[in-house]
Chain A
Amino acid sequence: MGNRTPLYESHKAMGARLVDFAGWEMPIHYGSQIEEHHAVRRDAGMFDVSHMTVVDLHGGRTREFLRYLLANNVDKLQDAGKALYSCLLNEQGHVLDDLIVYFLTEDNFRLVVNSATREKDLAWIGRHAAAYDVQVVEQPQLAMIAVQGPRARDKALSLFNAAQRQRIEPLGLFYGAEVDDWFVARTGYTGEDGFEIMLPDVEAAAFWQALADADVRPCGLGARDTLRLEAGMNLYGTDMDETVSPLVSGLGWTVGWEPADRDFIGRKALEAEREAGPAQKFVGLVLEGRGVLRGHQKVIGGSGEGETTSGTFSPTLGRAIALARVPADIGERCQVEVRGKLLDARVVRPPFVRHGKAQIELDAG
């Protein structure tokens, strides 16, 4: 039996099909993955993401520690509650994990890392934290619910009292706030507006039910994957891992190069790679005809071969889409090998969909 979140019984009661995900019994869907996907694009959906690992860092030198630990620069975080997306790199400049860091106070930053990499991350962070006298405290008692979609904020806000709403309503994009012993952030993994809400595990089931009563549709990890792919957001373990750098994973924008004298783990290797010019680049693909793209299919284009890193059928576009690592000189078109056949695809710049709208031309040329 796998780990269960505080919402396990709620999922069963709501008809979820449960699957193993990184050792957790998680809902893949509650009947129809596609309808759940559309609910998030058009209205509001909610996801149990309590399996994710929340880690609090405490100590007077926490900022200094994170300047060294993370590829992105935490000095971009000057306002309390502000969040930053970053890669965690090893000395080779390869990706150990991706994470969100929240600036709470100068002696308390909060990290949210992937559950599949939990042990590796905790060991890595703990090993480097010691030199900075930073305490690494996991917060396993926190459940996490993501409420996403154009109507997600309104529906979620209706469940808070006036004083709480005053804290939550003004939150800008990528800001969070402590609200009593909850933490509410205007972040997500779908390309839609909404909140990610961390709350004590004992309160999770009641809040989940209240959201359902407010017509927020329960959505499984299946829809979460198609939504994030349409939004052009990477998934650790398939789009990038310990064998590649952020520069060939579409994550060059998350590397805080400036100031040039900030030493961070992996910097030297990344600088050398940037200097040499990466041999590959990370792009979006749209299949021209019928079929479905999947991760790790061969891509033929430019001066050689690459591969899709994840692919799916996009419910919003009605087309197969993929993220792919391909030769740097790829043109506007390529071919993907699907079950022994070469299918024509167009190279695009992700995202494919944001805020319910297609971001790419479907029939260019």
Chain B
Amino acid sequence: MSDVPGDLRYSKSHEWVRVNDDGTVTTGITDHAQGLLGDLVFVELPEVDHEVEAEEACAVVESVKAASDVYAPIAGTVVEVNEELNDAPEAVNQDPYGAGWLMRLQPSSVEDVERLMSPDEYQEYIESE
């Protein structure tokens, strides 16, 4: 059973979004997604200051099995990426909502977050997939 924390929002492509106190948002891939991918061995992250559109492929996570795109859940500017993952991509498997975060965005519009799925909606979504 995949972990779906109650305080996050979710995209259909299995990214999670956390709204921080400073108005930025942190994103990563969900527990469900990391389970499907298997052991991650490489993460390619965007450059800081890169502007992303919603649903733009902006990062890549690679497991022993395959490479998979990560999509920006909302539009915004990349303000920080998780450099720790260069040496420890397995953090995404071990702690997808914590140490395994991928990037922090300054959203173009914070209301965009509201359009993403709630935890209940996402839970239902992955069960129906």
Chain A 316-344 per-residue mask, 1 if CB under 8 angstroms from chain B, else 0:
00001000000000000000000100000
> A274: CB under 8 A from chain B?
no
Bound CA–CA A312/B63 (angstroms): 9
Number of A-B contacts defined by CB within 8 Å:
39
Contact yes or no, B39 A33, CB < 8 A: yes
Mask: chain B, 47-81; 1 = CB below 8 Å from A; 0 = not: 00000000000001011111100000000000000
User: CB-nearest residue of chain A relative to B90?
Assistant: A34
Q: Is A313's CB under 8 angstroms from B86's CB?
A: no
Q: Tell me if A28 counts as interface (CB < 8 A to partner B).
A: yes
Q: Which residues of A contact B64 (CB under 8 A)?
A: 33-34, 37, 222, 226, 312-313, 315
State how many residues of chain B have any CB contact under 8 Å with chain A: 13
Q: Which of A40-48, A78-86, A150-158, A290-298 contacts B (4 or more CB under 8 A)?
A: A290-298
Q: Give every chain A residue within 8 A of B39 (Cβ-Cβ).
A: 32-34
B38 within 8 A of A: yes
Bound together, the chains give a CA A290 to CA B41 distance in angstroms of 10
Q: Contact: B65 with A290, CB < 8 Å?
A: no
Contact A28 B65 (CB under 8 A): yes
Q: How far is the CA of A307 from the CA of B64 in the complex (A)?
A: 19
In the assembled complex, the CB of B39 is this many whole angstroms from the nearest CB of chain A, namely 4
For the complex, what is the distance from the CA of A122 to the CA of B65, rounded to whole Å? 31
Contact A313 to B60, CB < 8 A, known contacts A33-B65, A290-B86: no
Contact A313 B62 (CB under 8 A): yes
Q: A29 near B: Cβ within 8 Å?
A: yes
The answer for the CA separation of A292 and B60 in the assembled complex, in Å, is: 11
Are A294 and B38 in contact (CB-based, < 8 A)?
Answer: no
The answer, yes or no, to whether B42 is at the interface (CB within 8 Å) is yes
- Chain B residues whose C-beta falls within 8 Å of the C-beta of A294 in the assembled complex: 66-67
* Chief secondary structure at chain A's binding surface: mixed
Bound CA–CA A29/B36 (angstroms):
11
Contact indicator A290/B38 (Cβ below 8 Å): no
Query: Which of chain A's residues have a CB closer than 8 A to the CB of B60?
Result: 339
Contact residue among A222, A292, A320 (Cβ-Cβ distance under 8 Å from B38) = A222
Contact B65 A291 (CB under 8 A): no
Task: Please determine whether A222 and B41 come into contact, CB atoms closer than 8 angstroms.
Answer: no
**With A and B bound together, what is the CA distance between A222 and B38 in angstroms?**
10
Complex CA distance for A312 and B60, rounded to whole angstroms: 15
Decide if A313 touches B67 in the complex (CB within 8 Å): no
* Beta-carbon nearest neighbor of B86 in chain A: A290
CB within 8 Å of B: which of A300-319? 312-313, 315
Residues of B near A226 (CB, < 8 A) are: 64
Q: How far is the CB of B70 from chain A (nearest CB, A)?
A: 13
Whether B38 lies near A291 (C-beta < 8 A) is no
- Contacts known (A313-B62, A339-B60); A290 close to B42, Cβ less than 8 A: yes
A353 → chain B closest CB, angstroms: 15
Q: How far is the CB of B124 from chain A (nearest CB, A)?
A: 22
* Residues in B whose Cβ lies below 8 Å from that of A37: 64
CA A312 to CA B62, docked complex, whole Å: 10
Residues of A within 8 A of B62 (CB): 291-292, 313
Give chain A residues whose Cβ lies under 8 Å from the Cβ of B66: 294
Distance in angstroms between the alpha carbons of A28 and B39 in the assembled complex: 12
Within the complex, the shortest CB–CB distance from A36 to chain B, in Å, comes to 10
Is there contact, CB below 8 Å, between A33 and B42? Answer: no
Q: Are A292 and B67 within 8 A (Cβ)?
A: yes
**Complex: chain B residue closest to A223, CB-CB:** B64
CB pair A313 B38 closer than 8 Å: no
CA distance A113 to B38 in the complex (A): 29
Residue of B nearest to A339 (CB): B60
In the bound complex, CA of A29 to CA of B93 (Å): 15
Q: Tell me whether A29 and B38 are in contact (CB under 8 A).
A: yes
With a cutoff of 8 Å between Cβ atoms, the chain A residues found around residue B42 in the complex are 290-292, 313, 320
- B residues sitting closer than 8 Å to A (CB atoms) are 38-39, 41-42, 44, 60, 62-67, 86
19 A-B interface contacts by CB (under 8 A): A28-B65, A32-B38, A33-B38, A33-B65, A34-B41, A222-B38, A222-B64, A222-B65, A226-B64, A291-B42, A291-B62, A294-B66, A294-B67, A313-B41, A313-B42, A313-B62, A313-B64, A315-B64, A339-B67
Q: Which residues of A contact B (CB under 8 A)?
A: 28-29, 32-34, 37, 222, 226, 290-292, 294, 312-313, 315, 320, 339
